[in-house]
Amino acid sequence: MDLRYTAAEEQFRTELRAWLAETLPTLPEKPDTGDWAGRRAYDTGFQRLLFDAGYAGVDWPKEGGGRGSSPVEQLVYVEELERAHAPYVGVNFVGLLHAGPTIVAEGTPEQRARYLPPILRGDDVWCQGFSEPDAGSDLAALRTSAVRDGDDYIVNGSKIWTSHAEVADFCELLVRTGPAETKHKGISWLIMDMDAPGIEIRPLRTIAGATEFAELFFHDVRVPVANRVGQENDGWRVTMVTLSFERGTAFVGELLQSMELLHSLREVDDADGSPNADRIGHLGAELDALWALTRRNVSEAARTGVPGIGGSVFKLAFSELRQRIGELGMDLIGRGGLSWDELDGPAWSRSAGGPGNAELVDTWVNSFSRTIAAGTSQIQRNIVAERILGLPKG
Amino acid sequence: MDLRYTAAEEQFRTELRAWLAETLPTLPEKPDTGDWAGRRAYDTGFQRLLFDAGYAGVDWPKEGGGRGSSPVEQLVYVEELERAHAPYVGVNFVGLLHAGPTIVAEGTPEQRARYLPPILRGDDVWCQGFSEPDAGSDLAALRTSAVRDGDDYIVNGSKIWTSHAEVADFCELLVRTGPAETKHKGISWLIMDMDAPGIEIRPLRTIAGATEFAELFFHDVRVPVANRVGQENDGWRVTMVTLSFERGTAFVGELLQSMELLHSLREVDDADGSPNADRIGHLGAELDALWALTRRNVSEAARTGVPGIGGSVFKLAFSELRQRIGELGMDLIGRGGLSWDELDGPAWSRSAGGPGNAELVDTWVNSFSRTIAAGTSQIQRNIVAERILGLPKG
Amino acid sequence: MDLEHSLDQDALAGVVRAIVAGRFSMERIRRREGTPLVVDPDDWAALGEAGVFSLTVAEDEGGVGLGMADAAVVFEELGRGLVPGPLVASHLAAGLTDSPLFAGAADGTTVVGAVTRPRMSDTGARVPLIVEHLASLDAMIVVGHDGLLSVLSTDDLEAEPIAHPLDPLTPLSVLTSLPEGDPVGDRDTAIRFTQGTHILTGALCAGMAAATCSMAVDYAKERQQFGRPIGSFQAVKHLCADMLVRAEVARAAVDVAAVTADQPDTGDTVRAAAGAALLAAEAAIANAKTSIQVHGGMGFTWEVPVHLYLMRARVLASSLGPLGALARTVAARY
Amino acid sequence: MDLEHSLDQDALAGVVRAIVAGRFSMERIRRREGTPLVVDPDDWAALGEAGVFSLTVAEDEGGVGLGMADAAVVFEELGRGLVPGPLVASHLAAGLTDSPLFAGAADGTTVVGAVTRPRMSDTGARVPLIVEHLASLDAMIVVGHDGLLSVLSTDDLEAEPIAHPLDPLTPLSVLTSLPEGDPVGDRDTAIRFTQGTHILTGALCAGMAAATCSMAVDYAKERQQFGRPIGSFQAVKHLCADMLVRAEVARAAVDVAAVTADQPDTGDTVRAAAGAALLAAEAAIANAKTSIQVHGGMGFTWEVPVHLYLMRARVLASSLGPLGALARTVAARY
């Protein structure tokens, strides 16, 4: 076990840090949450800067046009971006971290040539059409249908929880091409042009009040058969392949941000005479441990290509920890937690250098999705128990 | 809703309190835990005093020889005994609270005449032979067999978790009289004389170090068919009938004892400057609420004959609360919690008027059985979800 | 001794339930989300007419002459229905018959709020003074630093509205100053006010905890995943069972605190009220959170109303001050 | 950067596992339950020979010259096997090469314990001074009120044995007095001693948490109820999944604390060590408790060894002082 980085890794870090220090001050002002066009421009603009500097697709293999970095370099990359408060991946999320890697692994040469470079350059934005209202945890129950008609599929149905649909050029879409009984054996993976006729986008308001997500409705949308990635009815496997790209770095940004938040909560608590020091210290020890676990998972990925059992363990622990940090924040600011708008005055307010009530409310409210999205904690526990511990299926 | 008692209930309380004040000082010294003969003599001696004073079988109907008290009087009865630190029901437990009521409800006139009066007088001690090593939560999987041979059953098999077997005169025994596949439809309820040849008693050591329980092994034990209570293969229903005698008072003694213990832990914590006041207050609020819930359950029983949904709710909440009280005690005394023997000195020691480390260790260790015995908390949650909330079976 | 509802209490609960179903249906109250005037004067008067505010006022003072136990029954129903507005303060104001400002509190023609005067923080910074439903209020009870009560009219108060309150059905304003007001009542009045706040806020929370439990159970019976209702999975069952336990324990605590307030020789009202408020507030928060989890992705949508219970629970809990202080009150009297 | 075991560390773990399987099998160690001499000198010497105590002593001082990371690997295995004895104190004593009393600590011929000098309680009553394995000890490290270390021979100590210790494999005595002893090392030595105690006690606990998780999983695969292995029920699955999470998080915390101690420029060793001890002690207690629950009635029998892990976890946790103090140490440096 070793916490030191190689000279090459240190150099990568130094160069990246220097580039960030030079580049970030040149970025335009952040657009408002509701300004979708502005957000697209901002996020893809930063992606273009990364591309020009050679930092696009750090985690993509070189044959896909990426940098082909090692897992440890990927860790250094996300760590440095977070510590420098660089923009999040934002609207580039699905393209860079999901659809792109899938096409790298499973696309035809034509598909790779057509779709990958614009993702890396920040020219194309992708969204995801996987979940459906009746296919949440049970994704394989999806019903959106694609029926062959000559060289096209005709797609009907709906999707939910689609981020950035308003500004997306393409959608990675899971559709049913076999009968419903075939479950995960009758699913195909399509590239859908978001400009195709018959797509309706309805913003979905969440409990956080925001409309980060949308519902998609498809009325006879034509998708060329040539846009299918993988074989017909083999889309489930294609989807799973993407998971194998994960190197244990998925939550690094949020984890480091949580540590920074806890630090500022500790300062707020100090200003109040530290009545919550036990609770803060406990959460701090847990965050430190999950940072260690992250680095272990990355170490495992560096050796074997996959982060091992640590990924599921991390997700279970972190999603519940994040909720407890949210609750601590709300408890510390009392009545201040009743407002989404910034309030002024006490140690926790932004005006006094604290984290601000708005961020704390936001952290708390959004934490409730952490134990639901991407597999509820209940499903995660089943997975841990069955796949890692080998307990029999129920 | 009303917290006042009727004049008749108050008079019952006053008389009982006076009798306890007069009687308890005359009791002999408590025997050691390991002295079974002494414990039998002590517990049955007190039962005889209760009988002579008209307090035996407060919860038994008059036709069974009991006092036939209302649920509220039963509550007053157990409350006063606990507050006066009267002896626990001890070795009379199974006879008074389980086998006796079963025979009252399901026994023949001959069985009632033969077995009930000696229980009330403290002459006969009973034990229970229900659980088996492979039939714990799944009691209906029991395998101890009873095969007809003329006027007898011949019993073979074994039982576990039998209390007071060493000093019991009779055992209420569940046996399989039908084929194994019949599950709960092939079980019969027998009265077994503990002097019958072929019964072997092996003390079972628990994690508390004590041998409160025993395993029973049966080698061709003869039990007269006349000792069967209820019809052959109808023993499961007979057993369930006993549950209908519960009026919500089962845990009153332990609950009041927990409140007293928490009070003394609060004093210990006060002596240390109250670093655990939040935790103590929270546990106190929960205990107060469960005492309220108990009285609501008894109120329900007074109206309808059964304590309603509150019984399962109470058991789930109290068994886990009891563990947290145990943990608080251990945390408060630190290294003192490493000894079963009384230590002297600090505020928590008996010599300084505290609860004493031995009681705290004992409370903690024994609390682990609370979420297991009489239906694990997992099984209890299934019951609450299915029978009270109406969720579908899995 | 009887801790179940009397027939009269069942009838009272039924009356309130009917008003809630009629005037405060989820569909109807949600139309006012995010507006400054969530309290509708007609609806408020209807609550007044049903006795919601005058229930514990003596008959010779023009009230219904019932006790806190009856009020707890009523407030549990109001909580279950997520009825918005300064219910607790208006109810307690109706009992402060010395103050001319509160003449119409009992019949619901005067809407009364409450606020605790904030302390300066250690750094000297002013803690924002947040008032609920200010635009609907006629008058306000102020709990001072000394614990004593004063009253003031809301006519001349200066305040900044908060554009995005956490609970869209509890509009908020930040007062820029808080006048002294007129003293009302003595120390005993103030103690009863605190107890009443604990018990009735607890009752609202207990009702809310029961409601979010029911919502989860209903959803779990209906929602299919993996070819079965999700309520058939043990993991979901156990979440629901734990919700029921929390709701029932909270309700028992609230009810016994209310009866103790009516029959003070039967127990320690201060301890019972503080403990009830603590457990009920925690149950309301935990059950709303668990209900969201059982609802899965749907629980995270604005459309499904379970999140409104979570936000309201935070509003009510924050009105009790730090929950740890309630626990310490119980500890000090244990 | 690599937080997985190196090949050498895997080999080291294998060596320790072989010794544990041979000399410290559950059957073998349980024969000494309740006796005053649980530490067998031959077995202790075998641990010494394997380098358990001299692992982090520099090679030029006669040690193995490895680091805390390697020691953590070894101590996790010792914890998994529930190996009894004053392992942590003896290991740390081997590094205090200034003291002639500890000459044989490294090779396991001298058995060394540790004790923290208790404060008087506020009421002036003496807190009992409990020492583990006294009858087996040759010498003892005393942590004084000032945090500094002193050493003393156990030859002339007066003590009362405790007849029924919580953990039957950790015999206890109450010292009736505690001499001053000879000072050893400076403030840095004392700080390293505390860090070492946190890390190695944490490592034992992390290994124990993993062991009780495995025991529960094995039992759940085998035990049949309602016609299925109980491990097929979600309720049991989720208990086991939570145990794995606690064990893995604890192990990550311990390992990173140990590497930080070896490479102090990579982080805050004090914070990492305190946090690791906190999480690992809690995981050892919680997993033992949960494992008992999964074992059902069998978990409550003396025969099934899972309770021994619970009792040992309490012994180790209590040796760290109040766990809240560890949390506050982390908070102060966060």
pLDDT digits (tens, 9 = 90+) for A341-387: 999 989 999 999 999 999 999 999 999 999 998 889 999 999 999 99
Average pLDDT score over residue span B48-73:
95
Banded pLDDT at A243 (limits 50, 70, 90): confident
Do B222 and B135 belong to one domain?
yes
Max avg pLDDT among A237-251, D16-30, D143-157: D16-30
B112 compared with A246, residue with greater pLDDT: B112
Do A255 and A219 belong to one domain?
no
Range scoring the smallest mean pLDDT among A59-73, B241-255, C265-279: B241-255
Could you count the other beta carbons within 10 Å of the beta carbon of residue C297? 20
Domain tally for chain B?
3
**Is B104 contained in some domain?**
no
Chains that touch B (3 or more CB pairs under 8 A): C, D
**Is D240 contained in some domain?**
yes
Predicted pLDDT at D279: 98
**Is B211 contained in some domain?**
yes
The single-letter code of the amino acid at D278 is L
Q: Number of CB pairs < 8 Å for B and C?
A: 175
Task: State whether ipTM is beyond 0.90.
Answer: yes
Q: Which of A246, A260, A320, A359 is catalytic?
A: A246
Do A204 and A288 belong to one domain?
no
CB distance D11 to D146 below 8 Å: no
Average pLDDT score over residue span D7-36:
97
Average pLDDT score over residue span D107-128:
83
Domain tally for chain C?
1
Nearest to A345 among C127, C236, C307 (CB): C127
Predicted pLDDT at D124: 61
Portion 55-74 of D in contact with C at CB < 8 A = none
Question: In this structure, what CATH number is given to the domain that contains residue D239?
Answer: 1.20.140.10
Q: Which residues are within 8 A (CB) of D151 and not within 5 positions of it... i.e. 6 or more apart?
A: D96, D99, D101, D102, D139, D140, D141, D142, D181, D182, D184
Instruction: State yes or no: pLDDT of A318 exceeds 60.
Output: yes
Closest listed residue to residue D156, CA positions, set D141, D134, D185, D126: D134
Domain boundary among B88, B116, B138: B88
Both tokens of B151, joined, read: 């006027």
**Is B187 contained in some domain?**
yes
| 3-class SS of residue C66 | coil
Instruction: State yes or no: pLDDT of D121 exceeds 70.
Output: no
Average pLDDT score over residue span D190-201:
97
Instruction: State yes or no: pLDDT of C163 exceeds 60.
Output: yes
Domain boundary among B200, B233, B266: B233
Nearest to A372 among C300, C307, C314 (CB): C300
**Is C277 contained in some domain?**
yes
Range scoring the smallest mean pLDDT among B210-214, B281-285, C249-253, C329-333: B210-214
Distance from the Cα of B124 to chain D's closest Cα (Å) equals: 28
Portion 283-322 of A in contact with D at CB < 8 A = 284-286, 288-293, 295-296, 298-300, 302-303, 309-310, 313, 316-317
**Is C29 contained in some domain?**
no
CB burial class (10 A; 0-12, 13-18, 19+) of residue C31? exposed
Do B383 and B257 belong to one domain?
yes
D interface test, pick of B330, B366, B378, B382 with most D CB neighbours within 10 Å: B378
Predicted pLDDT at A33: 87
CB contact under 8 A, D278 and A313: no
**Three-state SS letters, chain A:** CECCCCHHHHHHHHHHHHHHHHHHHHCCCCCCCCCHHHHHHHHHHHHHHHHHCCCCCCCCCHHHCCCCCCHHHHHHHHHHHHHCCCCCCHHHHHHHHHHHHHHHHHCCHHHHHHHHHHHHHCCCCEEEECCECCECCCHHHCCCEEEEECCEEEEEEEEEEEECHHHCCEEEEEEECCCHHHHHHHEEEEEEECCCCCEEEEEECECCCCCCEEEEEEEEEEEEHHHEECCCCEHHHHHHHHHCCCCCCCCHHHHHHHHHHHHHHHHHHHHCCCCCHHHHHHHHHHHHHHHHHHHHHHHHHHHHCCCCCHHHHHHHHHHHHHHHHHHHHHHHHHHHHHECCCCCCCCCCHHHCCCCHHHHHHHHHHHHHHCCCCCCHHHHHHHHHHHHCCCCCC
Domain with D194, as residue range(s), is 188-332
**Is A314 contained in some domain?**
yes
Tens digits of residue pLDDT in C186-228: 999 999 999 999 999 999 999 999 999 999 999 999 999 999 9
Do B191 and B293 belong to one domain?
no
CB contact under 8 A, C235 and D235: yes
Do A188 and A78 belong to one domain?
no
Q: How far apart are CA A144 and CA B148, in angstroms?
A: 64
Domain boundary among B57, B88, B119: B88
CB contact under 8 A, C233 and D234: yes
**Is B244 contained in some domain?**
no
Average pLDDT score over residue span D308-320:
98
Tens digits of residue pLDDT in B261-279: 999 999 999 998 999 999 9
Instruction: State yes or no: pLDDT of B142 exceeds 90.
Output: yes
Tens digits of residue pLDDT in B148-178: 999 999 999 999 999 999 999 999 999 999 9
- B/e letters for B294-305, b = 16+ CB within 10 Å, e = fewer, are bbbbbbbbbeee
**Is C291 contained in some domain?**
yes
Q: Which residues pair with A206 in a beta bridge?
A: C301
Instruction: State yes or no: pLDDT of C123 exceeds 80.
Output: no
Max avg pLDDT among B174-188, B208-222, D235-249: D235-249
Q: Which residues are within 8 A (CB) of C331 and not within 5 positions of it... i.e. 6 or more apart?
A: B266, B269, B274, B277, B278, B280, B281, B284
Predicted pLDDT at D123: 57
Domain with A13, as residue range(s), is 7-88
Predicted pLDDT at C156: 85
Mean pLDDT (chain A, rounded): 95
CB contact under 8 A, A2 and D2: yes
Predicted pLDDT at A137: 86
Mean pLDDT (chain D, rounded): 96
Which residue blocks in chain D are alpha helix, DSSP H?
7-23, 26-30, 41-49, 68-80, 87-94, 187-222, 234-262, 269-295, 306-319, 323-332
Global pTM reads 0.97
Share of chain C above pLDDT 70, in %: 98
CB burial class (10 A; 0-12, 13-18, 19+) of residue C243? buried
CB contact under 8 A, D2 and A288: no
The radius of gyration computed from the CA coordinates of chain B, to the nearest angstrom, equals 22
Tens digits of residue pLDDT in B68-126: 999 999 999 999 999 999 999 999 999 999 999 999 999 999 999 999 999 999 999 99
**Is D37 contained in some domain?**
no
A interface test, pick of D244, D262, D294 with most A CB neighbours within 10 Å: D244
A336: contact with C, CB 8 A cutoff: yes
Q: Which residues are within 8 A (CB) of B394 and not within 5 positions of it... i.e. 6 or more apart?
A: A394, B382, C232, C233, C234, C237
D187: contact with C, CB 8 A cutoff: no
Do A158 and A43 belong to one domain?
no
Predicted pLDDT at D120: 67
Average pLDDT score over residue span B19-39:
96
Instruction: State yes or no: pLDDT of C122 exceeds 60.
Output: no
**Is B119 contained in some domain?**
no
Do B269 and B355 belong to one domain?
yes
Predicted pLDDT at B247: 85
Banded pLDDT at C124 (limits 50, 70, 90): low
Predicted pLDDT at C121: 60
Range scoring the smallest mean pLDDT among B227-231, B269-273, C166-170: B269-273
Predicted pLDDT at A315: 94
Banded pLDDT at B310 (limits 50, 70, 90): confident
B246 is catalytic: yes
Do A132 and A225 belong to one domain?
yes
C123 compared with C97, residue with greater pLDDT: C97
Predicted pLDDT at A209: 83
**Is D272 contained in some domain?**
yes
Average pLDDT score over residue span A182-202:
96
Do A377 and A285 belong to one domain?
yes
